[in-house]
A = this chain, B = another copy of it.
Amino acid sequence: MTANQDGNGNWGNPLKARRLGIDTQDEAVIFLRKDSEICRSEGFASHARVQVTHGEKSIVATLFQITANTLHHFEAGFSDSAWYRLGLTEAGEVTVRHPAPLESLGSVRSKVYGHRLSYPAFYSMISDVVAGRYSGIQLSSLITACAARALDIEETIALTRSMVEVGDKLTWQSKPVVDKHSVGGLPGNRTTPIVVAIVAACGLTIPKTSSRAITSPAGTADVMETLTRIDLDLPQMRRVIEREGGCIVWGGAVRLSPADDIFIRVERVLDLDSEGQLVASVLSKKIAAGASHVVLDLPIGPTAKIRSQQAADEISASLIQVADAFGLRVTVVKGDGTQPIGRGIGPALEAKDVLAVLKGSPDAPAELRARALCLAGAALEIGGAAPVGEGFALAEAVLNDGRALAKFQRICEAQGGMREPPEANYKKMICATHSGHVTGIDNRKLARLAKLAGAPDDKAAGVLMHVRLGDSVLQGETLYTLHAESPGELEYALNYARHAGDIITVSAP
């Protein structure tokens, strides 16, 4: 036994923690000297997954080995993410050892080979994911397997339940608790803040938690972040609801279905999501948030996420069936998904559309207003605030007389103060090369364009639409404007716009 063997027979431990100031995003990284006693005695290879413990906290991190003199033999360097997750301070001590074998990876393989997974299998998989025991490579395999070997209803229920169980769960005094979700894929479909404002203004409880973008240029959380604070914890969210009846916060900060946010980061890299995971993602958040009644918005279009009436019917059936298993009542509202709803695509640009609708500005996007009223009407009806058939009219009245705007402002104030969305420093107008009618808008290419311009990470970046399907345009008239926060990204998006083929199709008359 050497001087540095701990009571459990671990050689080379403990180690002194050192923060290296390296941002690796969500991936926890630990740096150890290759010739350190710990690496030699434990036989750690570079890129190995190791278990790091500091006091009560323990994480699995990726090991990078240092071959230079940057670290001492009994030091362990940490990326920022690992540092925060372990709650470390300078000169804090850690122990490093082999992690327990990841047994739930057997379920991933089982899924790859086409076997059905049970609730216990999903639960242990999701528990391991939330504990940070899956590397990016392993998460990717899990997500790809569930996309390639479609989950059936029972598996989707099991996945949903697992995702609910591993996180926090909210309960509310007043019933019903209404919620709302749009199944993405349609740029500029930012109805949620308007719906929440109207529904809360009518006295219903609507504790809305939103996701960041998965594969789109902006999620509701990204948009709201340009207007107010969204990373509220549970007690803060509860105070907002008690005061205003509604809120729009980021789901990740309140740990409702925390696995979802981990999946989202990998799905983003792969540009991939599947029906089973989509249903589990949507409903696990609603169930965990304590909703009793949910309105789901399903835009249908050839380049939206839901491409046909048939696909919409299928996913509606799955959503309703899975929701039913949890005693959740669901109304599905299908709508036009052939073109962007608002004008802006990207966090700040969509926030400006939302404000224009709430303020009743004459240039507010009419389609966004109409869609929001439709969904708010459905929510008022399902929540019992309006008789069937009268929801839309009530929603319109509340929007027109300014009650919705006032409620929205109060919600933002309650969440931490309202602010103005940022404006991009770099813009470029894209004009029609010939006159004619707009006969096609490629939502996927538009979303790609907004992402290349920097959305959603750059809040002001994105695309501002100047035309809609059917509009007649003259040669040289602006079709859309690119917004970016850096010249590099503006150039990058512009380059794509030049080579991607028809993003907006203008047909000669």
Contacts and interface: CB of A to CB of B under 8 A. Distances in A.
B20 A144 contact: no
A149 to B, nearest CB: 5
Interface in A98-150: 98, 101, 105, 108-109, 111-114, 135-141, 143-145, 147-149
Given A68-B20, A140-B137, A457 B25 contact: no
Contacts of A111: 148
B270 A98 contact: no
A148 B272 CA distance: 15
Contacts of A41: 486-488
Contacts of A492: 98
Given A22-B66, A138-B140, 7 more contacts: A11-B488, A23-B67, A43-B488, A109-B270, A112-B144, A137-B139, A144-B145
A64 B109 contact: no
B21 A66 contact: yes
* Residue from A70, A272, A488 whose CB has the most chain B CB atoms within 10 Å: A488
A269 B140 CA distance: 12
Contacts of A236: none
Given A114-B148, A454-B43, A270 B65 contact: no
A67 B47 contact: no
B20 A70 contact: yes
Interface residues of A, number: 72
Nearest to A40: B486
A45 B25 CA distance: 9
A80 B67 contact: yes
A390 interface: no
A9 interface: yes
A46 B24 contact: yes
A401 interface: no
Given A20-B68, A109-B271, A112-B148, A42 B137 contact: no
Nearest to A26: B47
A242 interface: no
A266 interface: yes
Given A112-B272, A137-B269, A488 B10 contact: yes
* Residue from A144, A266, A496 whose CB has the most chain B CB atoms within 10 Å: A144
